[in-house]
Amino acid sequence: MGKDVIIACDFAGKQACLDFLDKFTGRKPFVKIGMELFYAEGPQMVRELKARGHKIFLDLKLHDIPNTVEKAMAVLSKLEVDMCNVHAAGTAAMMEAAIRGLTRPDGTRPLLIAVTQLTSTSQERMERDLLIAQPLEEVVSHYAKTACNAGLDGVVCSPLEASQVKTACGAAFLTVTPGVRFADGESGDQVRITTPEGAKALGSDYIVVGRPITDAPDPVAAYERCLKEFTD
Ligand code: C5P
């Protein structure tokens, strides 16, 4: 898979999501289904978007004991999504279990990536709330190496951390990066952010963009702008 823009379809329900995607006449953007939409509409939403021809990143960020994650992943593997994820904080044992669960009898599986530290987490919040005192960059690199050693395909991280992840884990290890904002846009609740152009320069493989596209007056134009800045 090449470099691409993944639209975070953070909608409250099916109709809002389909109305949004209907604006993209003739185009089938790579989409991300997260907790909000999945919890509202269930697996049928995934099947529907798959049937419409979209590639799907199912962003459910699993984080539980290895046995539970393995069984949940076995269920998700049947949805035939392109990418799904877990929290690296679940530890190597949980990530290895996730791969076992996700792998189908024929040996195929969707890409599996790990969330390192959420892009809404700052150094201060991590120290205060999680009692992790190391520099955020070191924590992200360590989580990425653990994910890589567990056999995962990449991580979700801030674009600002993409190059250090590549250095730690190799160029083929994927970096999927939310926290992307246009130079002239709002940052919202995201903290470790950059522009699509910045993410490209920093070596992201995929950028995940939500509100800058979904809340734009012209979402298709915003998507095109993202794609152009990121891939040109
Ligand atoms: O609207 P916005 O562009 O901030 O959307 C970013 C998307 O990426 C959201 O769906 C959010 O859940 C997701 N995400 C994130 N940071 C992570 C992992 C996922 O922002 N570390």
Whole-number Å distance between alpha carbons of 176 and 5? 10
Residue in the structure block whose two tokens are 């984080």: 63
- Dihedral, CA of residue 228, residue 229, residue 230 and residue 232, to nearest 10: 60
Q: What is the pLDDT of residues 35-51, one digit of tens each?
A: 999 999 999 999 999 99
Q: Is the dihedral of CA 85, 89, 92, 98 positive or negative?
A: negative
Ligand 1 touching residue 118 (CB < 6 A): yes
Count of domains for the chain: 1
Active-site residue, selected from the candidate residues 50, 61, 78, 145 = 61
| Strand partners for 225 | none
Average pLDDT, the chain: 95
- pLDDT score for 2: 73
Residue 63 pLDDT exceeds 60? yes
Question: What are phi and psi for residue 25, nearest 5 degrees?
Answer: -60, 125
- pLDDT score for 186: 81
Going by CA atoms, what residue is nearest to atom 14 of ligand 1?
Answer: 178
Going by CA atoms, what residue is nearest to atom 2 of ligand 1?
Answer: 210
Q: What is the pLDDT of residues 101-157, one digit of tens each?
A: 999 999 999 999 999 998 788 999 999 999 999 999 999 999 999 999 999 999 999
- pLDDT score for 120: 82
- pLDDT score for 1: 55
What single-letter DSSP state applies at residue 161?
G
- pLDDT score for 193: 84
User: In the chain, what's the furthest Cα-to-Cα distance?
Assistant: 49
Q: Residues 85-94: what's their mean pLDDT?
A: 98
Pairing of strands 83-87, 56-62: parallel
Ligand 1 touching residue 211 (CB < 6 A): yes
The CATH number given to whatever domain includes residue 130 is 3.20.20.70
Ligand 1 touching residue 83 (CB < 6 A): no
What tokens does 84 get? 């799904």
The domain of 30 spans 4-231
What tokens does 231 get? 């891939």
pTM listed for this prediction: 0.94
Ligand 1 touching residue 140 (CB < 6 A): no
Whole-number Å distance between alpha carbons of 54 and 189? 28
Are 88 and 98 contacting, i.e. CB atoms less than 8 angstroms apart? no
Identify which of 7, 208, 211, 213 to mutate to test ligand 1's pocket (most ligand atoms within 8 A of the CB): 208
What tokens does 18 get? 């389909």
What single-letter DSSP state applies at residue 189?
T
